[in-house]
Amino acid sequence: MPPPPDYTNVPPAYSTVPPAYVAAPPAATNPGLSENAAAAIAYLTIIPAIIFLVLEPFNKMPLVRFHSWQSIGLCVAAFVLQLLISFGEILLHFIPGIVLLFSLVHLVIALGLFLIWLFLIIKASKGEWYKLPIIGDFAEKQARG
């Protein structure tokens, strides 16, 4: 007759001690998006900028806060500028050639805003704190405050 099997190295099937609970790290510590990428995305309209100012952990990142505030300031300034040009065009539409002049000014300003927007996205993606003349001071004050 063979000897009985050795069960000393076999773990018990049932244990009276519950398994140790290992908590997963909170999702807020690893957003999956780098600070530079979030800062660049903040310029893709006013909506991501507002979301980054509200959403943790992005609202704790100084670079993202700065570029979000600067994006909001740029969007508001562009809207007001385009509104003033359109309003002037409506008021002076009866003067011959003025509509063409306002349309050209509108086009030049839109092209300039596009180039500024593209420049700021590139600067933000590199992690640089590039400040626009007036809007940048406001954004820096808001980001640090």
Residue 9 backbone phi and psi in degrees, to 5: -95, 0
Query: Which residues make Cβ contacts (< 8 Å) with residue 89, sequence separation at least 6?
Result: 98, 99, 102, 103, 106
Say if residue 7's pLDDT is above 80.
Answer: no
- C-alpha distance across the termini of the chain, in Å: 84
Whether residue 124 lies inside any domain: the answer is: yes
Say if residue 15's pLDDT is above 60.
Answer: no
Whether residue 27 lies inside any domain: the answer is: no
Convert the pLDDT of each residue in 47-84 to its tens digit.
Answer: 999 999 898 888 888 899 999 999 999 999 999 998 99
Please classify residue 64 by burial: count the beta carbons closer than 10 Å to its beta carbon, then call 0-12 exposed, 13-18 middle and 19+ buried.
Answer: buried
Whether residue 20 lies inside any domain: the answer is: no
Report how many domains make up the chain. Answer: 1
Whether residue 3 lies inside any domain: the answer is: no
Say if residue 27's pLDDT is above 60.
Answer: no
Q: Which domain does 104 fall in, by range?
A: 37-144
Whole-angstrom Cα distance, residue 13 to residue 18?
A: 13
pTM above 0.75, yes or no: no
